[in-house]
């Protein structure tokens, strides 16, 4: 995983932390220098690129679904191409008679207005409402897993660096690296197979879904407990597959920070260990991890599909799989877009957080007098 976010690269830092000034900085001057504006611009560009990609995938490439659908309808019902095209238009929300660039433009304008079309299966159900039903569960499971693995991983990594080459370090580092090398779907499968089927420790079938039908939603202990019960497996899978990376990254960042002069000077100043660990070592070591957090959010959300499929958890990933099975292209498109938007937002948040934590970024700084 790369170690810097787009904002950092614009501010001029590469993976090694060295400043390399890009020409864009000089091009646009003042406004461009604000991290927020740059991050937003990049985010919008990314969303634009992704939506264009999905548009072309679905419409343009040979063997694309729209043409297939038209041919299929013609073969099945014998209507004319024009009529089939009309049907397809309605279904795919595309004006097939219009020239291609017009279709693309319409597509974009609708997108900006938040209109993602209707699901092919349930006629009249807007894609947005389908997404809203499934999105929260993915966010909940992935978010919890990411957060937990980050917090625990960072602490373990810090300790592993402090007690370098101890049994703790060897154990934590090796277990961490082994577990994080295993693809998440394999971990999920192993859970189901061993804890569920073989050893019957967990009630796998009952843990499917996001909540038990009988319990009413709300901030009640019963509901929250139920949600956690159902979410436990996916969260655990995310936790296990991610924690290794945090442990190793934090360990190496901490080891590098421990060698910095300001740590030795802090000791010479007689500062207490606790203060040195938190404000001098911790706050510096964690900086590269903040940006990694954002990038990993993208990977985890993307890979959530496998986990949700195997554990039968009704998130966006599972819905995407179903949409693929059912050839529900608008829903597929919508899910990819919403995932992109979430990742872009996560990146922006991480960039903002980073620029708060590291005073060397985003200030008109430099040596003075």
Partner 1 sequence: MTAAAATLPADRSGGPLAKTLDFLRLLSGRPIGLIGLAGVIFFLLLAFVVPAFVPYQDKVDVTAIYQPPSLAHPLGTDSSGRDVWNQIINGGRDILLVGFLAAFFSTVIAVTFGSLAATVGGRLDTLILGITDIWLTIPHLPILIVAAAVLNLSNLFYIAFIIAVLGWASLLRQIRAQVLSLRERDYVEAARSLDLGLFHIIFREILPSMRSYIVIHFIFAMTSSIYAVAGLMLLGLVPLSGINWGLMLNLANVKGAIYFKDSIWYILSPILAIMLFQLSLVWLASALEDIFNPRLRSGG
Partner 2 sequence: MDPGVVLSVRHLAIDYMTRRGPVHSVRDVSFDLHKGETLAVIGESGSGKTTMAVSLVRLSPRAARITKGEILYRTADDEIVDVRSLGTEELRQYRWSELAMVFQAALNAFNPVITIWEQFHDTGQAHGYGDSKKIRQRADELLRLVHLEPDRVLRAYPHELSGGMRQRILIAMSLMLEPQVVVLDEPTTALDILTQRQIIDLLGDLKRRLGFSLVFISHDLSIAAELADRVITMYSGTVVERASVQDLFYRPRHPYSVGLLQAVPRVSGELGSVSSIGGSPPDLVHLPPGCTYEPRCPFRIPECKEAEPALLAVDLPDHDARCIRWKEVAATVGSKEVPIAVKAAAAS
* CA distance linking residue 38 with residue 24, whole number of Å: 10
Closest-CA residue to 6 (of 360, 363, 343): 343
Among 36, 37, 40, 49, interactor with partner 1 by CB under 8 A: 49
Among 29, 165, 214, 274, interactor with partner 1 by CB under 8 A: 165
- Which one of partner 1, partner 2, none interacts with residue 208, CB within 5 to 8 A by kind? none
What residue has token string 């927020």? 36
Contact between 351 and partner 2 per CB under 8 A: no
- Which one of partner 1, partner 2, none interacts with residue 284, CB within 5 to 8 A by kind? partner 2
Site string for partner 2, 236-275 (x = CB under 8 A): ------------------------xxx-xxxxxxxxx--x
- Residue (16 or 124) nearer to partner 2, CB: 16
* CA distance linking residue 280 with residue 262, whole number of Å: 8
Tokens of 155: 């602490």
Contact between 37 and partner 1 per CB under 8 A: no
* CA distance linking residue 80 with residue 57, whole number of Å: 25
Closest-CA residue to 210 (of 200, 223, 197): 223
Contact between 58 and partner 1 per CB under 8 A: yes
* CA distance linking residue 160 with residue 255, whole number of Å: 9
- Which one of partner 1, partner 2, none interacts with residue 4, CB within 5 to 8 A by kind? partner 1
**Looking at residue 363, what DSSP letter applies?**
S
Contact between 198 and partner 1 per CB under 8 A: yes
Beta strands in 231-367 (DSSP E): none
| Least distance in angstroms from the C-beta of 93 to partner 2 | 50
- Which one of partner 1, partner 2, none interacts with residue 165, CB within 5 to 8 A by kind? partner 1
- Cβ neighbours of residue 218 under 8 Å, at least 6 residues apart? none
What residue has token string 């802090």? 266
Instruction: Give the CB-side neighbour count of residue 64, counting CA atoms within 13 A.
Output: 15
Contact between 200 and partner 2 per CB under 8 A: no
CA dihedral angle for residue 52, residue 55, residue 61, residue 63, rounded to 10 degrees: 160
Count of residues that interact with partner 2, criterion CB under 8 A: 28
* CA distance linking residue 89 with residue 43, whole number of Å: 30
Q: Which positions touch partner 2 (CB under 8 A)?
A: 260-262, 264-272, 275, 279-280, 283-284, 287, 357-360, 363, 365-369
Contact residues for partner 1, defined by CB under 8 A:
1-2, 4-6, 9, 14-16, 18, 20, 22-24, 42-43, 45-46, 49-50, 53-54, 57-58, 61, 63-65, 164-165, 177-178, 181-183, 185-186, 189-190, 192-193, 196-198, 204, 252, 295, 298-299, 301-303, 305-306, 309-310, 320-321, 324, 329, 332-333, 335-336, 339-340, 343-344, 347
């Amino acid at each position: 995983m790369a170690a810097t976010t787009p904002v950092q690269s614009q501010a001029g830092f590469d993976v090694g932390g060295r400043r390399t000034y890009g020409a864009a900085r000089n091009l646009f001057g003042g406004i461009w220098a604000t991290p927020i504006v740059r991050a937003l611009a990049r985010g919008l560009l990314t969303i634009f690129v992704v939506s264009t990609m999905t548009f072309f995938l679905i419409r343009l490439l040979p063997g694309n679904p729209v043409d297939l659908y038209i041919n299929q309808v013609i073969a099945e019902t014998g209507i004319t191409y024009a009529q089939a095209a009309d049907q397809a238009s309605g279904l795919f929300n595309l004006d097939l008679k219009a020239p291609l660039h017009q279709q693309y433009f319409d597509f974009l304008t609708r997108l900006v207005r938040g209109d993602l079309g209707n699901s092919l299966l349930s006629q009249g159900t807007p894609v947005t409402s389908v997404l809203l039903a499934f999105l929260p569960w993915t966010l909940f499971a992935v978010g919890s897993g990411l957060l937990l693995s980050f917090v625990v991983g960072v602490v373990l990594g810090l300790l592993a660096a402090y007690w370098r080459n101890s049994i703790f370090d060897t154990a934590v580092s090796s277990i961490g690296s082994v577990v994080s090398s295993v693809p998440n779907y394999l971990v999920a499968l192993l859970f189901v197979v061993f804890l569920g089927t073989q050893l019957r420790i967990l009630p796998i079938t009952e843990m499917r879904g996001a909540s038990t039908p009988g319990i009413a939603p709300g901030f009640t202990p019963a509901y929250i407990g139920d949600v956690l019960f159902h979410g436990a497996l996916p969260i655990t899978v995310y936790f296990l597959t991610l924690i290794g990376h945090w442990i190793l990254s934090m360990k190496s960042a901490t080891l590098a920070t421990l060698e910095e002069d300001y740590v030795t000077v802090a000791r010479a100043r007689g500062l207490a260990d606790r203060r040195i660990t938190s404000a001098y070592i911790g706050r510096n070591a964690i900086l590269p991890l903040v940006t990694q957090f954002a990038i990993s959010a993208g990977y985890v959300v993307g890979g959530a599909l496998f986990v949700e499929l195997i554990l039968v958890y009704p998130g966006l990933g599972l819905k995407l799989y179903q949409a693929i099975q059912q050839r529900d292209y608008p829903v597929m498109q919508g899910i990819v877009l919403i995932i992109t938007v979430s990742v872009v937002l996560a990146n922006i948040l991480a960039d903002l957080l980073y620029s708060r934590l590291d005073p060397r970024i985003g200030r008109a700084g430099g040596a003075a007098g």
